[in-house]
Structure 1
Amino acid sequence: MLSLKLPQLLRVHQVPRVFWEDGIMSGYRRPTSSALDCVLSSFQMTNETVNIWTHFLPTWYFLWRLLALLEGPGFRAEPYDWPLLIFLLPACLYPFASCCAHTFSSMSPRARHICYFLDYGALSLYSLGCAFPYAAYSMPASWLHGRLHQLFVPTAAFNSLLCTGLSCYSRFPELESPGFSKVLRTAAFAYPFLFDNLPLFYRLGLCWGRGHSCGQEALSTSHSYHLLCALLTGFLFASHLPERLAPGRFDYIGHSHQLFHICAVLGTHFQLEAVLADMGSRRTWLATQEPPLGLQGTVATLGLAVAGNLFIIAAFTASLLRAPGTCPLLQGGPPEGGAQAKQQ
């Protein structure tokens, strides 16, 4: 192992446009790296290193939280706790998928796109995973057993398919129409987030003028922190700040995608704490209500969503594999010195 050399790093004008990142001028890995090179690069300072570790380490944190809950007394035998389990599974999956995508995305243009297809699918399943505990623990009292409550999880499952489809498709026009691609990808993830959090927005509106006297509709502080982190995550994803203001200054540490990762992970942490708060404070009250979705319905909805997302990813992957090597999506055209890097 001591004889292995760390991969050589390149500047933006030395890699095809498909690998460019907005405002990132150096620290690029070879666009034909081997799998071993990709793994080794995670131990040297590249423009992807912090991206990799800011999601690899949180994967273990959320896995630890999951295992700690599973080992708790009566957790696996208590149906009331199952929606929390459904939430934690994709909460462990999405940072791991993102870590893998950033690690192996420099193997080839095709590998890069496929890695991010899988990353988008994991994020879409996370958006669905959020809907299960929200439907079980966080619904406003006036919504219980109403039509929106009954359709909340099935709609979130459909949204996950829509999210995966739009986000995967957004990679195809990103070189010719980067603005359209960015808007499409941002909308693909913003819409499921807004839908999932409708119960929280409604409860927040009910409590806005009531101070601390809104009873079962009260939101914990963790809910506020989660929403704030989500707002920061969206801003960083869309703005590409600070590197857009000072290209080359934040190539290795401090660029928006690293900050985006940190805010996303913190948001998931606070979301977990908020769900646990709702579970505890509303347990007695919810015990008198009929559960909205039984185990069979939960497994069926989740299974169909996973299968549908895998089918969409497979369809886009097959389309990508059939594309000729001269396709602009795979070549990206000759690099132009001094040009702005593309958006991820």
Structure 2
Amino acid sequence: MRPDALAQVLRQLQATIGDSDDPAILSGLAEGDDAAVVEVPSGGKIILTLDFFPPIVDDPCTFGKIAAANALSDVFAMGGTPVAALNICCFPPCLDTDIIASIIRGGAEKVKESGGMLVGGHTIEDDVPKYGLSVMGFSADGKIWEKKGASAGDAVILTKPLGTGIITTASKAGLVDALTFQLACESMAMLNKRAMETLRPFEPSACTDVTGFGLVGHALEICSRSSVAMEIDFKTLPFIGTAPNLAEEWLFPAGTNSNRHTYEKSVNFSPKIEEHMIALCNTPETSGGLLACVSSSCSAALLEEFRIQGIPAWQIGKVISGVPFLFFI
């Protein structure tokens, strides 16, 4: 759904169910974080999320891996560890069972890699194949990363390059070179687990992952929840392969315009930034990286640790004082 349409639906749902009076519900619909959080008597916290979508690549196993990595990402974005996952399977009755098995196998491999256990699932018949996971994660020490908490002066860190949305869209028309497509698939299938584990000792003040609302939308979520503004240094943004060239050809998915329309009043781009690159910053991502705010006093050490661990990471900006707003300079 478009971000503005989703927000309208959720407001109506919130009006229907009201605020939870259960003190164990720490993050639900009202909070708008990446996953729901429920406190358990031990002091730990359960993290609950789900995600599924139709194929964005042709190879069944790769699709399964990407869909699973995308669903698991919300747990990592909140600093948690996956415990159990359930398959969400929507497949046409005519679809070859070997293809279905390959999709599910790809998902199972990623759940296992995450440290969690695939414990079941549910299937329905659907004209368009769809696959994903419902995931339960856990935070044993009770520390949860939310979108709120960023403070002026914090460094803004991104752990995957951008461009998956435009690359997968253009690939359907055969307009993407093999290397760029391979890099995009590898990025989407890569779990945010190691990035989260590297980030944890540096105690991020706010965190989310970059997915359907694009870099602009997810950065603005942190700004809104934290009551701060953010300055993004455009020249530091990493892109996958030829994604900027595809943007110049204007090969964007439909979600780009929806995102741009939703967020345009809360973002300002330097006049030096070309129109197609503005659109690319608004383009939906699939299984994108973590977007985290950390104290500027430790950002250099964090980036060095990412380098040592062989994990991609970039400092792309800083948090500044002000009403929730995004500046691309």
- Structure number having the greater strand percentage: 2
Higher-Rg structure is 1
- Structure number having the greater helix percentage: 1
- Scaled by the length of structure 2, what TM-score is found? 0.30
Which protein, 1 or 2, shows the higher relative CO under an 8 Å CA cutoff with sep ≥ 6?
Answer: 1
